[in-house]
Amino acid sequence: MDLSIEQSCPSCGAPIELHETDRLLKCPFCDMGNYLASAGISRFVLPDKAPPSIAREDLFYMPYFRFKGNVFSCQGVQVEHKVIDTTHVGAEAPLLPLSLGLRPQAMKILPVTERICGKFFKQTDKISTVFTKASMLAGMISSNQPMVSPYHRAFIGETVSCIYLPLYLQSGSLYDAVVNRPLGKGDALAGMMPQAAGYQPEWSPRFLATVCPHCAGTLTGEHDSLVLSCTTCESLWTVQDGAFQQVSWQLLKSGRGEDNCRYLPFWRISPTVEGVRLAHFGDLLRLTNQPVVVTGEHDSLELSFWAPAFKIRPNFFLQLARSMTLSQGRIPAGGQEMAGTMYPVTLPSSEALQATKTILADLTLDKRHFLPHLPSIAVRSQQTDLIYLPFHSSGRDLIQEQTSISVASVVLDFGRGL
């Protein structure tokens, strides 16, 4: 489900139509570039068709959490994964549907700004609770059996937002303002009315001008890029805490030329691991019981986890992360020189770090005995670097030059819509 958002240009106010994953805005009217830098979850409202007799100030908005992303669950003797795309009401509200269904994708939604009049009901469910309910909807947790917590669960590449359903009261009845349909008696929500409050300024989307903080050059990228590049000073930037922060990066230049070459980005995480001995690559091979003879060369190589820095389906994410992590000894150091076609970064480093325990669990051959130890293992990052590696087109696949690891082109194309 892809959302269509009606946004005003931060520079000139002209209307711009965006998709949910868009970060870089290029206004067709004033030609100015702006980057979405909002902290926290994004908030939107469904357009209403309330009758003229209902004042805008008398509208109420019920929160629905929207979750879209990959869910990984380590339980039993396996690592399960699914793609989830769902909405769930964010409060205990009688009469209202549990989900918004197809509405968010069937109409253009609006960002919550000071122009939205009315009062907003407070969300009472925690986002973690919504995640659990989302897992139940996906069938990863059975609602007919006692709740059994997995050894580890991770939500990777997720998009979490809050979509408000507009409501109003008329003649003692509560109405759905999107379709002007009565839902039941208005006093059903009487207990929630005192907690309803007006718009909060921190809800509005914030934007940054796409100017390089280092040299004042223009930062460029694709519409869904989380990392922008400055070709003037060859630096990379991402947004943290509402401001541009420089990214540590390398590019391993192709030795076969730039023809049919694409540089795919990976997060290389140098970890500190607690709860298990895991400091060198040789430790990883022993712990996961890989069918190789561990040598002194393996023990001299500092351990790193590798994860795709772009969204793909969960089975391909694990496959690629597993292959790259096991092949790290074959990848030489790169430099800081931009080249060729650099694929956009669409997965943040924070989520790559969150994926490390799942990658470790997937690497382990003896899952029956290893997975129960996951709750006692903690992985923290000492250093995170963005590494671009050369992949060459070979029919329908892209082949990595140093490791011969392949990824299907269609997998990348599908991942742009996740």
Over residues 180-232, the pLDDT tens digits come to 999 999 888 888 888 889 988 888 888 899 999 999 999 999 999 999 999 99
Comparing 146-155, 219-228, 233-242, 265-274, which segment has the lowest mean pLDDT?
Answer: 146-155
Residues sharing a CB contact under 8 Å with residue 194, sequence separation 6 or more, in sequence order: none
Indicate if the pLDDT at residue 177 is higher than 70.
yes
Domain range for 164: 4-203
240 and 281, same domain (yes or no): no
Indicate if the pLDDT at residue 365 is higher than 70.
yes
230 and 142, same domain (yes or no): no
**Mean pLDDT across the stretch 151-167?**
88
pLDDT recorded at residue 141: 52
Q: Are the beta carbons of 62 and 163 closer than 8 angstroms?
A: no
The alpha-helical segments, DSSP class H, found in 112-252 are 127-137
27 and 114, same domain (yes or no): yes
Q: Are the beta carbons of 54 and 117 closer than 8 angstroms?
A: no
Indicate if the pLDDT at residue 147 is higher than 60.
no
Q: The pTM is what? A: 0.89
Residues sharing a CB contact under 8 Å with residue 106, sequence separation 6 or more, in sequence order: none
The first and second tokens of residue 73, run together, are: 């669950």
Please give the mean pLDDT across all residues of the chain: 89
**Mean pLDDT across the stretch 133-156?**
65
Q: Sorting pLDDT into bands at 50, 70 and 90, what band is 143?
A: very low
Comparing 200-209, 278-287, 343-352, which segment has the lowest mean pLDDT?
Answer: 200-209
Indicate if the pLDDT at residue 136 is higher than 80.
no
**Mean pLDDT across the stretch 232-250?**
94
Residues sharing a CB contact under 8 Å with residue 128, sequence separation 6 or more, in sequence order: none
State how far the Cα of 267 lies from the Cα of 384, in Å rounded to an integer. Answer: 7
pLDDT recorded at residue 357: 95
**Mean pLDDT across the stretch 323-339?**
94
158 and 243, same domain (yes or no): no
237 and 258, same domain (yes or no): no
Residue whose structure tokens are 């230049």: 253
**Mean pLDDT across the stretch 349-363?**
95
411 and 332, same domain (yes or no): yes
Amino acid at 314: P
pLDDT over 90 for what percent of the chain? 57
C-alpha closest to that of 36 among 8, 64, 68, 66: 8
Amino acid at 248: S
60 and 172, same domain (yes or no): yes
Indicate if the pLDDT at residue 175 is higher than 90.
yes
Q: Sorting pLDDT into bands at 50, 70 and 90, what band is 142?
A: very low
224 and 276, same domain (yes or no): no
Q: Sorting pLDDT into bands at 50, 70 and 90, what band is 23?
A: confident
pLDDT recorded at residue 294: 94
Q: Between 270 and 23, where is the model more confident? A: 270
26 and 138, same domain (yes or no): yes
State how far the Cα of 50 lies from the Cα of 59, in Å rounded to an integer. Answer: 9
Which residues, listed in sequence order, are joined to residue 181 by a DSSP beta bridge? 176
pLDDT recorded at residue 257: 87
The domain tally of the chain equals 3
- Rg of the chain (C-alpha set): 24
Q: Between 378 and 1, where is the model more confident? A: 378
Q: Sorting pLDDT into bands at 50, 70 and 90, what band is 145?
A: very low
215 and 191, same domain (yes or no): no
Across 171-248, where does the E strand assignment appear? 173-176, 181-185, 207-209, 228-230, 235-240, 243-246
191 and 270, same domain (yes or no): no
Domain stop point among 187, 222, 247: 247
